[in-house]
Chain A
Amino acid sequence: MKRFSFSNMMLWVGFLFIYLPMLILVIYSFNGSRLVTVWGGWSVKWYVGLLDNRQLIGAVLRSLEIAFYTAISAVILGTLAAFVLTRVTRFKGRTMFGGLVTAPLVMPEVITGLSLLLLFVAMAQILGWPQERGIVTIWIAHTTFCTAYVAVVVSSRLRELDMSIEEAAMDLGAKPLKVFFLITIPMIAPSLAAGAMMSFALSLDDLVLASFVSGPGSTTLPMEVFSAVRLGVKPEINAIASLILLAVSAATFLVWIISRRAEEKRRKAVQQAIEEGAAATWQQDKPEAKAAG
C-alpha cells in the first residue's frame, strides 16, 4: 500500500481539525491582555483570579460531588444491564430492555431533560418527593444516561470474555453470585474503571440535563460557564475551560494506561499459562517416551 494515502492524509487533517481549536483556547488562556484577540504576553493572572471566585469554586465542588456519585451508581447499574444483555439471553421484554438501555445514548438531551423534570414535578405532587430539586435530581438524571454508556463499554468486554472459566467454576459448584464477584468482576475490571471514568467525565460536562432538573442554589460548573459564555468570550472562561480540558485529558490518559497495563498483564498471564502447560506436557511425555523406548 502507498505510504501516504488519501485516508492517512484525512486522518491527520481530522486530528488537526479536532485539536487545533482546543490548543488555541489553551494558548489564549495565558494571554496577558484583557482583549481576547490581542496578544499581550504570557500571564497566569486569569488562573489566579479563578481562586477568588467563590461562586465558581462552589459550582466546581458541587459538580465533582455529583460526578462522583454518578460514576458509582452508573457503573453498578450499567454492569447489571450489560450482564443481562450478554448473559441472560431469553426473558420476557428483552427487546424492550435492550431498547431502554441503548436509547439514552442517542436521545436528544432537551427531551430527556424536559421529561425528567416533568417526572420530578409530578412525583413531588403525588409523593411529596422531591420537594426541592438539586444534587439528588441531577444525580438521577446523570445516572440514567451514563448507565447506557457503561452498559455499552462493559457488554463489549463481556462478549469477548471466555465463558468457559465461569462455566467451569459453576460446574465445580460455585454459586453464581460467587462466580460473578470472584471471576467475572476481576476479568472485566478495566472496563469497569473505564466506565466509571467516562461517567465521571460525562456528568462533569453535562449542561442541558442539569439545567432542566436543577433547582435554585444548585448551579453546576457547566451552567456557570454557560451563563458567562452567552455574553461572549472572556479570558477568565478561557482559563477555566483550559483547566477542564487538562483534567479530562489527564483522566483519559489514566484510563488508557490502566487498560493497557491490564491488557499486557493478561497477555503475559496467558503466555505464561501456555508455556507452563507446554512444559508440563513435555515433562509428562518424556518418561513415557523412555518407557516406550
Chain B
Amino acid sequence: MNISRSISRRMPKGRHFVIGVPFLWLFLFFLLPFIIVMKISFAEADVAIPPYTEIYTWAEGQLSIILNLGNYIFLTEDELYLAAYLGSLKMAFFSTLICLLIGYPMAYAIARAKPEMQTVFLLLIMMPTWTAILIRVYAWMGILSNNGLLNSALMSVGLISEPLQILNTNFAVYIGIVYSYLPFMVLPLYANLVKHDQSLLEAAADLGSSTFNSFWKITVPLSKNGIIAGCMLVFIPAVGEFVIPELLGGPETLMIGKILWQEFFNNRDWPVASALAVVMLALLIVPIILFNRNQAKEMEGRA
C-alpha cells in the first residue's frame, strides 16, 4: 500500500482527521446510543420526564448502581414477547428463503445478459429501493383488500365466489417483505455472479457435465459470499420490520418490531422497549457480525 504509507508519512495530522471525523460521528450517533439503550433497559418505568428512573445514585459519598432485571424477567413471563420474537425470526427466515429462490435466477439472468442490457436491468432493480417502503406497501393494501383488485379479478374470473381475506394476514406480510426486500437480495448476488469466469462452466460442459450439474457444483459454491450478503441484507432488517406487519398484518401477526413500537409509543414504557431492543440485538449479533466480516472481505478483496 504505497499511497497509504505516503499519506501517513507526510501527513500524520491529516490522517487523524480523515479517520477521526467519521469515526467520531459513528461512535457518537451509532455506538454510544446502544450503550444508553443497554443502560435504560435496566431502569424502571416512572411517571416523569424522561419516563424512567436513574440506575445510579450518588448519596453521602456512596455511588450505588441498581440494575433492575425486572424488564428482562417481565419479557420471559409474558408469552406475547416470546411469540413475537419467534414470529419475527420465522417470518424473516422464510421471507429470506423466498427472496433467495426468486432473486437468484433474476441475478443470474442479469449477469448473463448483454452488457448494455445489464445496466438497464440493474437500474430497474435499484429504482424501487429508493422509493419509500411505505408507498410500496401501501400499493399492496389496495390490491389485497377484500374489495381490492386481486379479489375482484378472482371473482370476475369465477375462481372464488366470496372475497378471500388476504390483507391483514401473515400471508400478506410475506408478500410485503419479499416485495420490499427482493432488490437487496438481487444486487449483491449480481455483483458476485458477474465476476464469475465463464471458462469454468465451458470446461465443465466440455467434460460432459450437464448444465444443472455445473450450475450446482460450480456457480452456487462460487457465489457463496453473494448469497451470504444478500440473505443478511434481507434477514436482519426483516426481523425488526415495523411498517409491513403494521400495515399488511393482522391480529395474528406477532412481530417484535411492532411490539417494540407499541411499548414505546402507546404504552410509553421506555425501559421495556429498551429491553426488547437489547434482546433483539442479541439475537441478531451473530448475523450482523457475519455480514460485517463478509462485507470487509469484499471491501479488501480487490484492494
Contact = CB atoms under 8 A, between A and B. Distances in A.
A196 to B, nearest CB: 12
Interface stretch (A42-50, A53-61, A110-118, A279-287): A110-118
B233 A106 contact: yes
Contact of B2 (A28, A109, A116, A163): A163
A208 B242 contact: yes
Chain B contact patch, size range: 35 or more
Q: SS class of chain A's interface: helix, strand, loop or mixed?
A: helix
Contacts of B143: 21, 24
Nearest to A77: B22
B126 interface: yes
A144 interface: yes
Dominant SS at the B interface? Answer: helix
B131 A244 contact: yes
B50 interface: yes
Contact of A233 (B27, B142, B260): B142
A108 B21 contact: no
Interface in A5-21: 5-8, 10-11, 14-15, 17-19, 21
Given A89-B1, A140-B29, A98 B296 contact: yes
A18 B134 contact: no
A176 B19 CA distance: 14
What range describes how many residues of A lie at the interface?
Answer: 35 or more
Contacts of A104: 26, 30
Interface string A215-258: 00000001001100110110001100100110011011100100
Interface string B30-42: 1111101100100
Interface in B189-215: none
Given A176-B7, A204-B132, A249-B131, 8 more contacts: A36-B142, A87-B3, A99-B292, A109-B242, A119-B29, A170-B3, A176-B6, A202-B130
Interface of A: 1, 5-8, 10-11, 14-15, 17-19, 21-22, 24-25, 28, 36-37, 77-78, 80-81, 83-91, 93, 95, 97-112, 114-116, 118-119, 121-122, 125, 140-141, 143-144, 147, 151, 155, 159-160, 163, 166-167, 170, 175-177, 198, 201-202, 204-208, 211-212, 222, 225-226, 229-230, 232-233, 237-238, 241, 244-245, 248-249, 251-253, 256, 260
